[in-house]
Copies of this chain bind each other. A is one copy, B any other.
Amino acid sequence: MERITIIGLGLIGGSLGLALKEAKLTDIEIVGYDKDTLAAGEARRLRAVDKSERSLQKAVRGARLVIIATPIMATRGVMEEIAGELRENCVVTDTASTKAIVMEWASQLLPATVSFVGGHPMAGKETSGVQNAEAKLFAGKPYCVIPAPEASEGAMRVVTGIVQLVGARPFFIDADEHDRYVAAVSHLPLVLSSALFTLARGSPAWPELSSLAGSGFLGATRLASTDAELSHDICLTNREGVLHWLDRMVEELGRYRELLQEGQEEELFKTFARAHLDRDAYVTAGPPVREPVAAEELPTSGEQLAALLVGQRLVRRVKDIGKLLEEKQERGRRRGAEGRD
């Protein structure tokens, strides 16, 4: 019997637990920990974990894989507390929305005898807490995987296996790229959404504004209902990325403003039309690049993952991760040639 420990039993930790339980891994026990014992109790009741521990140290003791799914800012403290308890060759991963700072904490705080592979599932919803967890939360979603330089190839395979087991698509990327990119497509929309709601809500005309607001306003402000601790932690841990894209957004709004102010009708129409056509193409066809990793190149079944975790046998030779790193470098070169953001 090998142990997987999930620290932080909120929406993400709880959903990972449910998804892993649904995979019916054999010889694996899922242990949960949350400093909020009510959340831990609820996770047990929902069978997102097999059992929970009241002590963080006890929860990770002997674990083959530890998943840290706490709020971003709590990750550092968790690493400090568990560092002395982790068994040799333990694989540690996380689910935080920013990665450079977490990779740094891992390199400072975790012992050299364990492997850290950062993770970030691009999944979520506007409600939080384990009571809103779902096994299908990650289905078909990209899941960023960022190995520490010293992480073993086996650790990389374990985390990639978990990603596929919960139904997500592994996306290999380095921490700085990750932070810059999610700042654009995740953190900037969050700030825009919150700012738009704050602006309308703060108006003396709010009674009328809110009476008139329809699904457009609701949709555009949906991310304002993100858990405030998450929004706050994202902004603090990815400050440069968010500031960069916030400035570019203000520039872009300035461009729209100019077209409007100067009555450049044709260019205004073209701008809206281009956005419309391009977005429809994106929604219909999906992203323009192929999947970075074909599914058959990595372990997929629960049996294989269990094999990796318990170390009994390696069901088949999995593809060397060298190929993945080559791809990443290739992406980097291509972008270098195109010019940077």
Asked if B288 contacts A198 (CB within 8 A), the reply is no
Cβ of A35 under 8 Å from chain B = no
Asked if A225 contacts B186 (CB within 8 A), the reply is no
Asked if B186 contacts A214 (CB within 8 A), the reply is yes
* Residues of B contacting A236 in the complex (Cβ-Cβ under 8 angstroms): 263, 265, 268
A167 CB to nearest chain B CB (Å): 14
A203 CB to nearest chain B CB (Å): 5
A205 closest partner in B (C-beta): B341
* Residues of B contacting A226 in the complex (Cβ-Cβ under 8 angstroms): 272, 276
Cβ of A235 under 8 Å from chain B = yes
Within 253-277 of A, Cβ neighbours of B (below 8 Å) are at 253-257, 260-261, 263, 265, 268-269, 271-276
- Take A190-B216, A339-B204 as given contacts and tell me if A225 and B279 are in contact as well, using a CB distance cutoff of 8 Å: yes
A275 to B235, CA, bound (A): 15
- Take A249-B253, A287-B210 as given contacts and tell me if A196 and B192 are in contact as well, using a CB distance cutoff of 8 Å: yes
A123 to B216, CA, bound (A): 9
- Take A249-B196, A339-B204 as given contacts and tell me if A225 and B276 are in contact as well, using a CB distance cutoff of 8 Å: yes
A144 to B214, CA, bound (A): 12
Give the contact stretch, choosing among A74-82, A150-158, A176-184, A309-317.
A176-184
* Residues of B contacting A144 in the complex (Cβ-Cβ under 8 angstroms): 212
Within 143-197 of A, Cβ neighbours of B (below 8 Å) are at 144, 171, 173, 177, 180-182, 184-186, 188-197
A231 to B278, CA, bound (A): 15
Within 33-74 of A, Cβ neighbours of B (below 8 Å) are at none
* Residues of B contacting A124 in the complex (Cβ-Cβ under 8 angstroms): 214-216
Cβ of A142 under 8 Å from chain B = yes
A225 to B239, CA, bound (A): 30
Interface residues on A, range: 35 or more
A201 closest partner in B (C-beta): B278
Q: Contact partner of A194 among B177, B235, B272, CB < 8 A?
A: B272
Cβ of A295 under 8 Å from chain B = no
Cβ of A246 under 8 Å from chain B = yes
Q: Could you mark each residue 218-261 of chain A with 1 if its beta carbon is under 8 Å from any beta carbon of chain B, else 0?
A: 11111111111101100110010011011111101111110011
* Residues of B contacting A322 in the complex (Cβ-Cβ under 8 angstroms): none
* Residues of B contacting A217 in the complex (Cβ-Cβ under 8 angstroms): 185-186, 189
A217 closest partner in B (C-beta): B185
Cβ of A294 under 8 Å from chain B = no
Asked if B224 contacts A279 (CB within 8 A), the reply is yes
A231 closest partner in B (C-beta): B272
Asked if B186 contacts A205 (CB within 8 A), the reply is no
* Residues of B contacting A268 in the complex (Cβ-Cβ under 8 angstroms): 232, 235-236
- 26 A-B contact pairs sorted by A residue (CB < 8 Å): A141-B214, A177-B208, A181-B205, A181-B209, A182-B212, A184-B200, A184-B203, A185-B210, A189-B220, A191-B253, A192-B253, A195-B252, A199-B252, A203-B341, A207-B288, A207-B331, A219-B220, A220-B220, A224-B279, A225-B280, A229-B269, A232-B265, A232-B268, A232-B272, A236-B268, A250-B250
The 3 A-B residue pairs whose C-beta atoms are closest, nearest first, are: A228-B273, A189-B220, A210-B287
